[in-house]
Amino acid sequence: MDARVSSPGPLSPPRLLDQVRAKIRLKHYSLRTEQAYVDWIKRYIRHHGKRHPREMGAVEVEAFLTHLAVAGRVAASTQNQAKSALLFLYREVLALELPWLDNIQRARAPKRLPVVLTRDEVQALLCGLHGTHWLVASLLYGTGMRIMECLRLRVKDVDFARGEILVRDGKGFKDRVTMLPSTLAAPLRDHLVQVKALHDRDLGNGGGETGLPYALDRKYPGAGRQWAWQYVFPSASLSTDPRSGAVRRHHLLDQAIQRALRQALRDAGLTKPATPHTLRHSFATHLLEGGYDIRTVQELLGHSDVSTTMIYTHVLNRGGRGVASPLDRLN
């Protein structure tokens, strides 16, 4: 009998979307960016009859973006996100340096002034929140953090002795330092006592692990179970990591804060379309109203360009650029 060992055939290349995910994770993009980019690439392929992107070019990309604007009536920011996903696909995944990529015009988003709450409105809003929701909203207003920067805080990033909070991997992968409001020091300490008790229970049940950024769990085995790396605002339940499949305790979801804020707005009778990000806008505006230098506010917000911070100077000009109406002068 002729016993021959068949050699394995050549491995098939990974599927396109798996290549997209691998490249995104190599560049340390967030899970939300990964989900958004993969979704836009799927929609692009389906829109053109499931043709492979290598077979398409500028005409198909422009047709898809036009379809989003005309038929989908999406906002300029949404159209630009779709464009960014397709540029990532062609440049980073397919490695196609095509000249037409630079000729695709980016949709112009309307320039709008940010919604800003007065101090009384902030007070009324915070009075309608309780517990963890109140603490998160107070930190957003008291520090100028973005909501995901706040929810991703680790225990080690809060320095009570110096009255500082270290914001890791903010927008643009930048770290920065902001203040820890003295009025929140005691409530935050009490909150961490409860979080520590939850973590101890998880450890007692054989868990207690949280996800670490940039594969630090391989460099520092066991660090994911250390108290210092735990989230300041952990979720009430365990969840499965969509990338690794590990069951861990993730941070609180931003949707929970958004729902609580909307309810507090209704309860307070406020009509402004405020969101958690409105508290960041209010933080910057109130600091400028208090006489702080715009460069200082720029550093606290983590803006790369001071022109971005300058938008709040327009909010300071009450009425028509601070000019008194001639009607008021008649009186």
Helix (H, G, I), strand (E, B) or coil at 306: helix
Check pLDDT > 90 for residue 184: yes
* Single-letter amino acid, residue 242: P
Give the pLDDT band of residue 324 (cuts 50, 70, 90): low
Residues acting as catalytic residues: 146, 171, 277, 280, 303, 312
Which helix (H) or strand (E) segment is 167 a member of?
A: strand 164-167
Phi, psi (deg, nearest 5) at residue 125: -65, -45
How far does Cα 192 stand from its chain's mean position?
23
- How far apart CA 100 and CA 104 sit, in angstroms, is 7
CATH code of the region 16-103: 1.10.150.130
User: Model confidence over 199-215: pLDDT tens digits?
Assistant: 999 999 988 888 887 66
- How far apart CA 178 and CA 134 sit, in angstroms, is 19
Tokens of 137: 């909203």
Domain boundaries in the chain?
16-103, 119-315
Q: What is the topology classification, in CATH, of domain 119-315? A: hpI Integrase; Chain A (1.10.443)
- How far apart CA 43 and CA 54 sit, in angstroms, is 15
Instruction: Report the pLDDT value the prediction gives residue 1, as an integer from 0 to 100.
Output: 44
Instruction: Report the pLDDT value the prediction gives residue 202, as an integer from 0 to 100.
Output: 92
Measured CA angle at 171 (ends 92, 117), to 5 deg: 140
Instruction: Report the pLDDT value the prediction gives residue 133, as an integer from 0 to 100.
Output: 97
No. of helices (H) and no. of strands (E), the chain: 16, 5
pLDDT top residue among 285 and 320? 285
Identify the residue whose tokens are 């969101």.
275
User: Model confidence over 285-308: pLDDT tens digits?
Assistant: 999 888 888 998 889 998 888 888
Mean pLDDT across the chain: 86
Give the pLDDT band of residue 317 (cuts 50, 70, 90): low
* Single-letter amino acid, residue 144: G
User: Model confidence over 101-148: pLDDT tens digits?
Assistant: 656 666 666 677 889 999 999 999 999 999 999 999 999 999 999 999
User: Model confidence over 58-102: pLDDT tens digits?
Assistant: 888 888 988 888 888 888 888 889 999 998 999 899 988 766 665
Q: Could you give the count of Cα atoms lying within 13 Å of 44 in the half-sphere of its Cβ? A: 34
